[in-house]
Every structure is written in structure tokens, then in C-alpha cells.
């Protein structure tokens, strides 16, 4: 079976996670793919493959070296994003893509003018959707590449490698993929999430993320006799939002620039609230965003009375770089392996968090590598077959370089 065939088979499983269920896994249907993967892992000779009650799959391919070697881990997530239809996925192959707009089976058009990255893939083959669903290459491309690697090792017992640890996780798309991850079951010395897009990009840095809840308390008075007394909480909330700098909104930031993003606003005369997320790669800038919000609250409290606006901040996640700073060799390994398979590696900080950042803070260094997918979470999603195949080569190269260290 080719890597592309593997990917298409996994994509047909509906594994959409559900942010509202409150259960773990968030949707039971993720078990169907997990159970298939356990079966396949066992067929590939990973005898200890199993799925736990929270739908985490763990397995180990034993070392065939006669000396101790560090264990490399590879992690991919099984769920797909709740943002768009994830059922009835019907993957289509475009052989020798010509680099122009893609017309899907249902008439939807993926325009190169909207997604200029596609031009890079002229002459390659793509897996795309039929226009009615997402594809799920995020992150089943990661799973397919790991499985392909294991199948290669089964067919090539002469290839030397240390122990390879594998984990397939649920609920990444709703931010809970690391919640029940168990490093003690993974038993790896370092790991990679195989959950990026283009293969030449790897990442060992994420945002620092915080949440802010702003509570506004008004003074409700009959509008007919309100002069000088009424404080309309909804209006104060709108004023608060308006006072925050425009240049710090997500629509005005890119690259290494962080943001303060209003996620939700609700209110009436007596009470209103605003919910924000704050993000920056640099922790001192994140702290600055706290101060900007606090100063805005102080300004409004001066105007409308002490206690009108109150803010509470909560930490969401921290930049993986902090946890990786004592393990530079892990990123270096990704870089070396990419070069060895003919790619020019780029280290690009992620504008978000990853399961790998949580896992790195658990003590298992875990940067991210790509898998050849793109336009995730919607009907324009695609996967470049050549890069998908090279993802498996990249994993093998990482294993090979790790085995060489042991000599």
C-alpha cells in the first residue's frame, strides 16, 4: 500500500472532535480509527500496540541495534477540526497538477490567487477533497507517514534503528490532545509531532498564550431619570474594546507579531463581559499586553467609578522554546535530516500552540515537523503526495541519525 493510499483510507474515517461534549475523547468515533491503527501496528510487528480509555494509541518498534540508543518518538493526532464538515470524506487525486485553480467535484473552486502556495506544487500530485468536507490530512498525513515508516522497517530488517516510539492522540483540534498524554507510556527520549504543513518547515517555537476575562458592572437606573447616574455596562464594554490598539488585533499581525484578540462580547445595561485571548512568542510582550488592558481598565474606572471594569487573566500555554532550550540537539536533528533528504530547512515559529508545547513542558522535548498538507480545516485542504512520501523518508532519516549517534 502506498503512503497516499494509507492517507486516503484514514481520511474516510470521520474522527471530528467535539469541543462541547466535555468527554475524553471528545467524540467516541475517534476510537474506530484508533482500533484500526492498533491492529495495523500489531501487523507491522509492534507487539505492544494498544489504545487506552481516553483514546491514546501507544506502540514501540523495538531496536535492532546491539548497543543502547536513544528512543525517538513520533506523534500524530487522529481527530479532525470541528470547523467544517468532517464526514463523508471522499479524497480525490490530481496527478501532475498544473498549478492552476482546482475545480472540485461539487463545483467549489480553490483559487491559486487565494492560496498562492499551490503554485509551488505544479508538476506534483495532490490529494484534495470533493469540495463537501475537509480532507483530514491534518493530521492523518502524519499518521500515514509514521505507518509507512514502520512498514518500510518491516520490509527492510537490515536497516538499523533504535527503539521508535509512536503515539496517536485524540482531540488535538480542540486543544486537549496533550491532556491525557502519558510520557511514561511513550518512553521516548525526544519526540516530534508530525503535524505541520510544508515539509521544509519545522518549528520549535510557539506562542505564549493567555486568556483574559473582562467583567463590566453598570449602574442601572430608569432611563427617564438617568442623567448623571446611569452607567451602561454594554457601552463601557464597547468603549473598552475600542480603546485597545488596533495594531494589536490579529487582522494586523503576522510573523513574530503577537496580538490581543476579542473572542466574545456580551452585555446589557447592568452587566457586560468581554473575553480575549492574548498571544506572543515573547513573554515580555505578553506581559505588556496585560498592562495595556489593565491601563485601559484603570482609565475607564477613573471615568465611571472604581470597580466598574475588572480583569482576570489565565495562563493557557507557554512557548515551547522555553522547555526546549536545554535540548537544542532535537531541533538540530530535524534540520540535519531535512537537509539529508534534499530539503532546505526553515525554522518557523508557530502562530499558535501545539500539543508538542504541552508535551515538551512534561519533560519530553517535542518540536514539530511538516507532512506535506495545506489549507487545513476546510474544503480547500490538500496534501502533496511527494512531500507526504518524503515525510516518511524524513522520519527514517531521523531514526538513522539517532542510530548513528549510538555508534
Catalytic positions are 79, 172
122: its cell numbers: 505544479
Which is nearer to Zn ion, 195 or 210 (by Cβ)? 195
Provide the 10 A C-beta neighbour count for residue 312.
Answer: 9
Mark the segment that binds Zn ion (CB under 5 A) among 5-13, 55-63, 191-199, 337-345: 191-199
Burial state string for 194-227 with b = 16 or more CB within 10 A and e = fewer than 16: bbbbbbbbbbbbbbbbbebebbbbbebeeeeeee
Which is nearer to Zn ion, 161 or 279 (by Cβ)? 279
Mark the segment that binds Zn ion (CB under 5 A) among 8-16, 41-49, 193-201, 350-358: 193-201
CA distance 168 to 297: 44
Mark the segment that binds Zn ion (CB under 5 A) among 47-55, 188-196, 218-226, 303-311: 188-196
Which is nearer to Zn ion, 40 or 139 (by Cβ)? 139
User: Residue 132 in contact with residue 387, Cβ under 8 Å?
Assistant: no
Regarding 195 and contact with Zn ion (CB under 5 A), the answer is yes
Mark the segment that binds Zn ion (CB under 5 A) among 194-202, 223-231, 244-252, 340-348: 194-202
Count residues binding Zn ion (CB under 5 A).
3
Closest approach, Cβ 6 to Zn ion, in A, equals 17
CA distance 357 to 204: 9
Out of 18, 139, 204, 355, which residue is the one contacting Zn ion (CB under 5 A)? Answer: 139
Which is nearer to Zn ion, 195 or 280 (by Cβ)? 195
**DSSP, residue by residue, 255-275:** TT--EEEEEEEEE-SSEEEEE
Helices 233-243, 283-304: axis angle to 10 degrees equals 140
Closest approach, Cβ 96 to Zn ion, in A, equals 27
Residue whose cell numbers read 515573547: 282
**List of E strands, 37-94:** 50-51, 57-61, 72-77, 92-94
134: its cell numbers: 475537509
Which is nearer to Zn ion, 139 or 148 (by Cβ)? 139
Which residues are CB-contacts of 59 (< 8 A; sequence separation ≥ 6)?
38, 41, 46, 48, 49, 50, 165, 166
CA distance 405 to 328: 15
Which is nearer to Zn ion, 200 or 294 (by Cβ)? 200
Q: What are phi and psi of 256, to 5 degrees?
A: -90, 5
CA distance 75 to 58: 9
Regarding 40 and contact with Zn ion (CB under 5 A), the answer is no
Which is nearer to Zn ion, 69 or 194 (by Cβ)? 194
User: Residue 16 in contact with residue 82, Cβ under 8 Å?
Assistant: yes
225: its cell numbers: 431619570
Strand 109-110 versus strand 190-194 pairing type:
unpaired
Going by the DSSP 8-state scheme, the letter that residue 371 receives in this structure is -
Out of 18, 79, 138, 389, which residue is the one contacting Zn ion (CB under 5 A)? Answer: 138
User: Residue 344 in contact with residue 378, Cβ under 8 Å?
Assistant: no
Report the interface residues with Zn ion, using CB under 5 A.
Answer: 138-139, 195
Amino acid at each position: 500500500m502506498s503512503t497516499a493510499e494509507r492517507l486516503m483510507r484514514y481520511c474516510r474515517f470521520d474522527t471530528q472532535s467535539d469541543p462541547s461534549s466535555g468527554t475524553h475523547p471528545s467524540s467516541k468515533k475517534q476510537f474506530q480509527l484508533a482500533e484500526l491503527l492498533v491492529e495495523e501496528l500489531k501487523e507491522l510487528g509492534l507487539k505492544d500496540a494498544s489504545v487506552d480509555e481516553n483514546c491514546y494509541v501507544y506502540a514501540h518498534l523495538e531496536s535492532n541495534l546491539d548497543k543502547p540508543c536513544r528512543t525517538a518518538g513520533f506523534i500524530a493526532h487522529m481527530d479532525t477540526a470541528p470547523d467544517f464538515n468532517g464526514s463523508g470524506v471522499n479524497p480525490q487525486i490530481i496527478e501532475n497538477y498544473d498549478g492552476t485553480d482546482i475545480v472540485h467535484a461539487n463545483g467549489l473552486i480553490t483559487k491559486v490567487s487565494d492560496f498562492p502556495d499551490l503554485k509551488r506544487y505544479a508538476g506534483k500530485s495532490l490529494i484534495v477533497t470533493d469540495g463537501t468536507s475537509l480532507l483530514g490530512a491534518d493530521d492523518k498525513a502524519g499518521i500515514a507517514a509514521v505507518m509507512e515508516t514502520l512498514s518500510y522497517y518491516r520490509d527492510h530488517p537490515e536497516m538499523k534503528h533504535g527503539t521508535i516510539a509512536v503515539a496517536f492522540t485524540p482531540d488535538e483540534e480542540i486543544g486537549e490532545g496533550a491532556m491525557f498524554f502519558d510520557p511514561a507510556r511513550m518512553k521516548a527520549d525526544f519526540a516530534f509531532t508530525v503535524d505541520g504543513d510544508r515539509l521544509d518547515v519545522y518549528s520549535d517555537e510557539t506562542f505564549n498564550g493567555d486568556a483574559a476575562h473582562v467583567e463590566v458592572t453598570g449602574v442601572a437606573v430608569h432611563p427617564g431619570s438617568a442623567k448623571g447616574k446611569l452607567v451602561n455596562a454594554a457601552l463601557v464594554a464597547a468603549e473598552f474594546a475600542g480603546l485597545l490598539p488596533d495594531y494589536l488585533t490579529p487582522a494586523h499581525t503576522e510573523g513574530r507579531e503577537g496580538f490581543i484578540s476579542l473572542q466574545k462580547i456580551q452585555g446589557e445595561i447592568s452587566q457586560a463581559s468581554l473575553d480575549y485571548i492574548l498571544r506572543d512568542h515573547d513573554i515580555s510582550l505578553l506581559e505588556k499586553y496585560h498592562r495595556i488592558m489593565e491601563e485601559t481598565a484603570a482609565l475607564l474606572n477613573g471615568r465611571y467609578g472604581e470597580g466598574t471594569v475588572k480583569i482576570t487573566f489565565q495562563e493557557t500555554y507557554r512557548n515551547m522554546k522555553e522547555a526546549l532550550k536545554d535540548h537544542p540537539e532535537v531541533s538540530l536533528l530535524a534540520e540535519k535530516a531535512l537537509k539529508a533528504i534534499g530539503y532546505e530547512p526553515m525554522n518557523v515559529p508557530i502562530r499558535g500552540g501545539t500539543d508538542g508545547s504541552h508535551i515538551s513542558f512534561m519533560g519530553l522535548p517535542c518540536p514539530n515537523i511538516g507532512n506535506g498538507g495545506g489549507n487545513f480545516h476546510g474544503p480547500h485542504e490538500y496534501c502533496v503526495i511527494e512531500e507526504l512520501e518524503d515525510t516518511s523518508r524524513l522520519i527514517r532519516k531521523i531514526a538513522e541519525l539517532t542510530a548513528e549517534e549510538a555508534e
